Amino acid sequence: MRKTVRFAIASSLTLLLSTAVVFHWKSGGEESGGGQAICDGLLTKEAISPLSIDPEGEYESSRKELVDGPGESGSDSPGRRGMISRCPVWQSEGGIAEFEVFVAWDFGPFRSEPVTPGWYVDASPLGSGLNGWTEGRRAEVWLPQKCSDDFKMGNKPIQVQLELQNPRHGQWGRDDKRRRMAEVLMSYAKNLAQEKGCDEEGFELADEVPGAPVHEEVPVEGQCGLSGFGVTRDQASRGELRQSVVGNYEDGWSCVLTRESESDRKYALAAFAVNGNDQLIAHHRNSRANESEGFQTEFITCGGAEYLVQMSHAESEPQDHDEHERKALEYAEADLLPARVLHESFVDAVKEKLGCAS
């Protein structure tokens, strides 16, 4: 009888200890190598530290799978976004970041559906041949295309998003913040791809992360840094216009024309973009772009390489404009050439820049 009781107590203690260990690991416990496992091992303490509040402190996390199967969503998932998983990370002082994995949605820069120029105002490409970008408090990247099969999403690209929550992020410089977000995002995305068995060579940050767009006065000639490219009317208030140029044609390049407003939100009049990422181009070719005069997409081939060329004008989706965007449209119509003329002129200028035949 005593042996039976002792055995039962020992078994109960073993089960309790095992449960505690599993719970600790799931919540951000210790890896066998001594580093703290965060988001079920997708991040280490060292990897998340660039975004930390307290670099020496401990982290908590809670990774949750939200998709039950192909085309199905768990109870916590907004299925319309194709949400797959979510993992918030925090310290005792507050939130650090939240990671989400979902089927890439058609918003943001370089999308196949019409988007307003405002989506480009604060966006910079990740660089390094990756299809992704950074914004003021977010960083995004697409996983390698073969990951779509592992996630059972057909040919739909899978996107990983980092949303910064550290309340002290304002202490970092604008460019430094983007570098930090990009590094942590790619650590998470790389480990996720390895976990799914769909990682590939080159899926990493190999080059310096582009900084935040810099807004400068619009020059009289060579606007957007393109020889012979002009966007403004003769009577335009050029002194109040600004342009921001960021990136390169292979990883993603954009030029945005803006005017200052009384708030922090600039009036986005037009955006011009070029991208040579093969995965993005293939996605565009498989999508049915809903173009309009204010949103144009074109593919050009130069020197054996293919590029996606886009223009977004303030008149894109006019039925959905809020008051701020209606004001931007008013400025665009007063200061810029017509959308059709801008698109044709932009494509010609890009071809000349790349050395293509007209």
Asked whether residue 191 falls in the same domain as residue 338, the answer is: no
Asked whether residue 226 falls in the same domain as residue 307, the answer is: yes
What lies within 8 Å, CB to CB, of 312 at 6+ separation is: 114, 115, 116, 117, 119, 120, 270, 271, 273, 294, 295
Asked whether residue 98 falls in the same domain as residue 136, the answer is: yes
Residue 54 pLDDT greater than 90, yes or no = yes
| pLDDT value of position 149 | 87
Q: pLDDT over 90 for what percent of the chain?
A: 59
In a domain, 76, yes or no: yes
In a domain, 134, yes or no: yes
Residue 351 pLDDT greater than 70, yes or no = yes
- Greater pLDDT, 255 or 32: 255
Residue 31 pLDDT greater than 60, yes or no = no
Amino acid at 69: G
In a domain, 111, yes or no: no
Which of the listed residues 196, 225, 260 is the one where a domain comes to its end? 196
Asked whether residue 259 falls in the same domain as residue 315, the answer is: yes
Mean pLDDT across the chain:
84
Predicted TM-score of the model (pTM): 0.84
In a domain, 337, yes or no: yes
- Mean pLDDT value across residues 252-258: 95
Residue 86 pLDDT greater than 80, yes or no = yes
| pLDDT value of position 40 | 96
Asked whether residue 229 falls in the same domain as residue 349, the answer is: yes
- Where residue 350 falls among pLDDT bands split at 50, 70, 90? very high
Q: Distance between CA atoms of 281 and 286, rounded to whole angstroms? A: 9
Which of the listed residues 196, 226, 245 is the one where a domain comes to its end? 196
Asked whether residue 150 falls in the same domain as residue 281, the answer is: no
Asked whether residue 220 falls in the same domain as residue 190, the answer is: no
Asked whether residue 191 falls in the same domain as residue 48, the answer is: yes
Asked whether residue 252 falls in the same domain as residue 137, the answer is: no
In a domain, 302, yes or no: yes
- Mean pLDDT value across residues 246-262: 91
Domain encompassing residue 329 = 215-354
**pLDDT tens digit string along 128-169?**
999 999 999 999 999 999 999 888 887 889 999 999 999 999
In a domain, 140, yes or no: yes
**pLDDT tens digit string along 273-306?**
999 999 999 988 887 666 677 889 999 999 899 9
Asked whether residue 256 falls in the same domain as residue 190, the answer is: no
Q: What is the 3-state secondary structure (H, E, C) of the chain?
A: CHHHHHHHHHHHHHHHHHHHHHHHHHCCCECCCCCEEECCCCEEHHHHHHHCCCCCCCCEECCEECCCECCECCCCCCHHHCEEEEEEEEECCEEEEEEEEEECCCCCCCCCCCCCHHHHCCCEECCCCCCEEECCCEEEEECCCCHHHHCCCCCCCEEEEEEECCCCHHHCCHHHHHHHHHHHHHHHHHHHHHHHCCCCCCCCCCCCCCCCCCEEECCCCCHHHCCCCCCECCCCCHHHEEEEEEEECCCEEEEEEEECCCCCCCEEEEEEEEECCHHHHHHHHHCCCCCECCEEEEEEEECCEEEEEEEEECCCCHHHCCHHHHHHHHHHHHHECCHHHHHHHHHHHHHHHHCCCC
| pLDDT value of position 29 | 47
User: Are the beta carbons of 18 and 10 closer than 8 angstroms?
Assistant: no
Asked whether residue 177 falls in the same domain as residue 304, the answer is: no
| pLDDT value of position 73 | 37
User: Per the structure, how many domains does the chain have?
Assistant: 2
Asked whether residue 247 falls in the same domain as residue 290, the answer is: yes
Which of the listed residues 196, 227, 252 is the one where a domain comes to its end? 196
In a domain, 116, yes or no: no
Residue 14 pLDDT greater than 80, yes or no = no
In a domain, 246, yes or no: yes
